[in-house]
Amino acid sequence: MVKVLLLLIVVVNGLYAFRFFKDFMRHKKEAMAEPGNNIFLAIWGAVVFFLSTFGISDFALSTVVYRARKLLDDKKLPGTLNTQCAIPVAVMALSYVSAIYVDPTTLILLIVSQMIGAYLGPRFVVRMPVNRIRIFMGIGLILAAFFVVAGKFGLMPSGGEATGLSGWKLVLGMVLLLIYGALNNVGIGAYAPTMATVYALGLNPAIAFPVMMGACTFSVPIGAMEFVRLGQYGRKITLFSSVFGILGVLAAVFIVKSLDTSMLQWVVAVVILIAGADLFRTVIASASETRA
């Protein structure tokens, strides 16, 4: 099952890579004339996907940087955020799925649940008040970070070492990941909630990584290919992020694999706390824009 999963990752993302590089070569001259210093874009690609490998949103970081440096027209921002991460995320998925053992049934079912949520989500989440969802998710993530830290200090039971789920825990994990996949459609990332869920269900914290990347590596390139077809993305940024992002990913994967469970628990706490705080920041910023 895992070998089939790895093969599918290569096939789907290989098709995206072929279409992107074909489009880039067709527009090479105008692409290289796009804004952005080459050295800066190379360094940024490595840094942002190094951080993304730990679950820190490359979408959020890149949005801030690209707008601040005026590298893109806003109408090309959504496409660029998708196209720039497809290949680095594929490398993340291949690295984590092959390097971190997860019970195959658990891995496949959690990944499929999140993908189904991402597919069905637009039919439901668009009707929900987004800021209310962000507030509830933000509270949940901050509480989850508190429980992780409390466990580290022996105040509460700590996360486990299990490599798979069964029974009600597996069903609950599938339902929650389906919800997280749906919430991606309103800009609420699935990385931090997945980390918190994996931890709370007693799994080894490292298992969050192959689950997170495994789900994303199928949904992202399909959307990215549509942006490439329409030409609604930054070709230069995508090229540098695709190439140098791989270096950042490999460096981060090496660090994650070398960390013990205790250190990974701290990583989980920091990432989900940052994600929770960022959701509240988004709510405040949205409310300010509405008043203005």
pLDDT bracket for residue 213 (50, 70, 90): confident
User: Hey, what are 31's tokens?
Assistant: 């692409």
Query: Could you read off the pLDDT of 148-205 as tens digits, one per residue?
Result: 677 667 665 556 678 888 899 999 999 988 888 777 655 566 777 887 888 788 888 7
Give the residue ranges of DSSP H helices in the chain: 2-26, 28-32, 38-53, 58-68, 77-99, 104-120, 130-152, 167-183, 191-200, 208-230, 235-258, 261-291
pLDDT at 257 over 80: no
User: Hey, what are 233's tokens?
Assistant: 């993305």
Residue 154 pLDDT: 63
Average pLDDT, the chain: 82
φ, ψ at 101 (rounded to 5°): -75, 130
Q: Are 272 and 195 in contact (CB under 8 A)?
A: yes
How many domains are contained in the chain?
1
Residue 1 pLDDT: 73
Collapsing DSSP states into helix, strand and coil, what is residue 233? coil
Residue 216 pLDDT: 79
Query: What percent of the chain shows pLDDT beyond 90?
Result: 26
Closest C-alpha among 10, 49, 41, 7 to residue 253? 49
pLDDT at 32 over 80: yes
Query: What does pTM read for this prediction?
Result: 0.76
Query: Could you read off the pLDDT of 219-255 as tens digits, one per residue?
Result: 788 778 888 988 989 999 999 999 999 999 999 888 8
Query: Could you read off the pLDDT of 132-163 as tens digits, one per residue?
Result: 777 777 777 777 777 667 766 766 555 667 88
Instruction: Report d(CA 115, CA 48) in Å as an integer.
Output: 24
Domain containing 269 equals: 2-291
User: Hey, what are 42's tokens?
Assistant: 């190379």
